[in-house]
């Protein structure tokens, strides 16, 4: 690892740079120490050569990047039939592999997979072993450059004169230039997503090194690849790989190479965390959409038998793990989509468990928000939304009802101890509203699929509450509601000021 300092210590006249392609082939070596060293050395060398050197590297390897077609769908979901890619040409003889290349990123079976499912007219190079090695190396090198340096490598500005022949192909950056089509970023993204989502085959095993490399680079450079990928398919593909991560990683011995399934689960897990923290809205909205799709399928009697074997159902624990990370690291983004987050949580946690133990014990992270409340008596959850509405969930039935009573984001919600009233407060309109919960027999026990009936019985004007200082997180702890009895509540501001109200 100290080799990253050699250029500065030796000077450029004595320093001989490492071969980028050799480091790229060890990007996901099975030995974690070799993997970490290769990644550190490759990234250090790419930084050292600067933008012009990276463009030269792109020019050298871009011709070897395979052109994949969009034929892969999200695992665990059904899609309409789409035209399939023509079958690959007859397999070419595969050369004997040296034993020392066993862990190489370009194993024979892996590099052969780089050319599978391509139409004949899309193959620009021969199917020899060396060319397949170059294809796999090109995917890794361009993926690394795109993931780590894509924001700075922008498409060349089109001017009156033609682009100089020595300039790099169109790059990875996102700009507003109307004449740019970002073909290199798009093709690199297609290659990475193909390797992730392509079903296992003899040429591309389920837990191959090149597939694991694609997983890692998708996570590292998600902000670069996002415009060119099916985010839902990618997330479902990653969840499929780490659905059983706990079982795969529980018996791992520190210092020993991971077995391929465990290594894939570890990489997919890390990629999910990177994607979620890089683009929280994309992760939350995509998973919420998949949850709604799952619920719709569950309501269909014909799909009842398959609904519990889908990727989404098997990956509940992993989804909750990522949501917990987002709540801890990026609470502001979670609050912006709090209803969607609660939809996901309600799907991942069994209603009977919440009813037995309460929301605080089942998923304590979500209870840190003042705009989330749970009633132990009626087993209902209230969630304040940014649009001024409140989503009311019935834990027993899983149904959700929206009520509208404020003109801005909800700051705090809270149920009365006896469950008869719900108090909601919004600092945007400086109002506190009291809602009377349905106490009838049918409404209280959820019979006949009846939705809980609510009506606003009182509204009070509240003096404006200002945050202590400007900041994205200060509005999350602006004020909270505390019931002192079944009919009395205190609005406690962040500065300790109290406003008392009675229903």
Angstrom distance (rounded) from CA 282 to CA 291? 14
Sort 430 into a burial class: Cβ within 10 Å, 0-12 / 13-18 / 19+.
Answer: middle
pTM: 0.81
State mean pLDDT over 345-365: 93
Cβ(407)–Cβ(387) under 8 Å? no
The boundaries of every CATH 2.130.10.10 domain in the chain are 370-502
Assess whether pLDDT exceeds 50 at residue 98.
no
Answer yes or no: is pLDDT of 286 > 70.
yes
- 438, 399 Cβ separation under 8 angstroms: no
In the chain, the N- to C-terminal Cα span, in Å, equals: 67
Tell me, what's the pLDDT at 267? 94
The pLDDT mean for the chain works out to 79
Q: What is the pLDDT of residue 46?
A: 94
At 384 the pLDDT is: 94
Please give the pLDDT value at position 397: 86
Place 302 in a pLDDT band, splitting at 50, 70 and 90.
low
- The mean-pLDDT minimum among 214-218, 249-253, 420-424 falls in 249-253
In this prediction, residue 176 has a pLDDT band, given cuts at 50, 70 and 90, of very low
Asked if the model's pLDDT at residue 175 lies above 90, the reply is no
What is the pLDDT, as a whole number, of residue 289? 96
Could you name the CATH architecture of 370-502? 7 Propeller (2.130)
For a pLDDT cut of 90, what percent of the chain falls above it? Answer: 51
Per-residue pLDDT for 103 more than 60?
Answer: no
Question: pLDDT category, 131, cuts 50, 70, 90?
Answer: confident
Tokens encoding 339: 């209803």
Residue bearing tokens 């834990």: 395
Region 132-137: what's the mean pLDDT?
A: 91
Element (H, E) at 374: strand 372-375
For residue 373, what is the DSSP state? E
Confidence of residue 92 (pLDDT cuts 50, 70, 90): very low
Contacts of 65 (CB under 8 A, 6+ apart): 135, 138, 139, 142, 184, 187, 188, 191
3-state SS of the chain: helix, strand, coil percent to 5?
A: 50, 10, 40
Task: For residue range 9-58, list pLDDT tens digits in order.
Answer: 666 667 778 889 999 999 998 888 889 999 999 999 999 899 999 999 99
Q: Per-residue pLDDT averaged across 403-430, rounded?
A: 92
What average pLDDT score do residues 55-74 get?
77
Average pLDDT over residues 293-312: 71
- Model confidence over 138-171: pLDDT tens digits? 999 999 999 999 865 444 444 433 434 334 334 5
Q: What is the pLDDT of residues 187-244, one digit of tens each?
A: 999 999 999 999 998 888 989 999 999 999 999 999 999 999 999 999 999 999 988 8
């Amino acid at each position: 690892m100290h080799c990253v300092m050699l250029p500065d210590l030796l000077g450029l006249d004595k320093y001989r740079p490492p071969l980028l392609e050799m480091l790229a082939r060890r990007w996901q070596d099975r030995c974690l120490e070799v993997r970490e060293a290769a990644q550190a050395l490759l990234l250090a060398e790419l930084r050292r050569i600067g933008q012009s050197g990276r463009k030269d590297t792109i020019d050298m390897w871009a011709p070897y990047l395979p052109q994949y077609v969009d034929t892969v769908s999200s695992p665990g979901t059904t899609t309409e039939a789409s035209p399939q890619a023509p079958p690959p040409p007859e397999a070419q003889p595969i050369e004997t592999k040296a034993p020392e290349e066993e862990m190489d990123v370009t194993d024979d079976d892996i590099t052969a997979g780089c050319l599978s499912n391509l139409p004949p007219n899309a193959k620009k190079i021969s199917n020899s072993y060396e060319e397949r090695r170059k294809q796999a190396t090109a995917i890794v090198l361009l993926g690394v450059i795109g993931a780590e340096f894509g924001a700075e490598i922008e498409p060349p500005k089109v001017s009156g004169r033609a682009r100089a022949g020595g300039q790099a192909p169109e790059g990875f950056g996102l700009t507003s230039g109307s004449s740019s089509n970002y073909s290199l970023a798009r093709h690199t993204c297609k290659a990475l997503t193909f390797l992730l989502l392509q079903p296992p085959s003899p040429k591309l095993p389920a837990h191959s090194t090149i597939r694991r490399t694609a997983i890692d680079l998708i996570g590292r450079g998600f902000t670069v690849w996002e415009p060119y990928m099916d985010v839902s398919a990618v997330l479902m593909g990653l969840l499929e790989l780490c659905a059983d991560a706990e079982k795969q990683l529980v018996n791992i011995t520190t210092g020993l190479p991971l077995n391929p399934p465990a290594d894939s689960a570890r990489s997919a897990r890390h990629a999910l965390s990177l994607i979620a923290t890089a683009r929280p809205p994309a992760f939350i909205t995509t998973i919420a959409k998949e949850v709604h799709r799952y619920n719709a399928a569950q309501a269909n009697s014909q799909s009842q038998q398959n609904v519990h074997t889908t990727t989404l159902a098997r990956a509940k624990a992993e989804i909750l793990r990522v949501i917990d990370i987002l709540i801890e690291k990026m609470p502001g983004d979670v609050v912006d989509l709090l209803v969607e987050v609660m939809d996901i949580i309600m799907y991942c946690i069994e209603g009977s468990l919440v009813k037995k133990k309460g929301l605080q014990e089942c998923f304590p992270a979500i209870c840190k928000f003042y705009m989330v409340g749970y009633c132990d008596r009626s087993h209902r959850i209230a969630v304040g939304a940014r649009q001024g509405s409140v989503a009311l969930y019935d834990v027993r039935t899983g149904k959700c009802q929206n009520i509208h009573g404020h003109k801005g984001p909800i700051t705090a919600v809270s149920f009365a101890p006896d469950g008869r009233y719900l108090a909601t407060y919004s600092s945007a309109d400086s109002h506190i509203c009291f809602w009377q919960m349905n106490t009838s027999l049918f409404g209280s026990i959820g019979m006949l699929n009846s939705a809980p009936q609510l009506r606003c019985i009182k509204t009070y004007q509240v003096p404006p509450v200002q945050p202590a200082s400007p900041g994205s997180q200060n509005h999350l702890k602006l004020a909270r509601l505390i019931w002192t009895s079944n009919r009395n509540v205190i609005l406690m501001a962040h500065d300790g000021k109290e406003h008392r109200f009675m229903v």
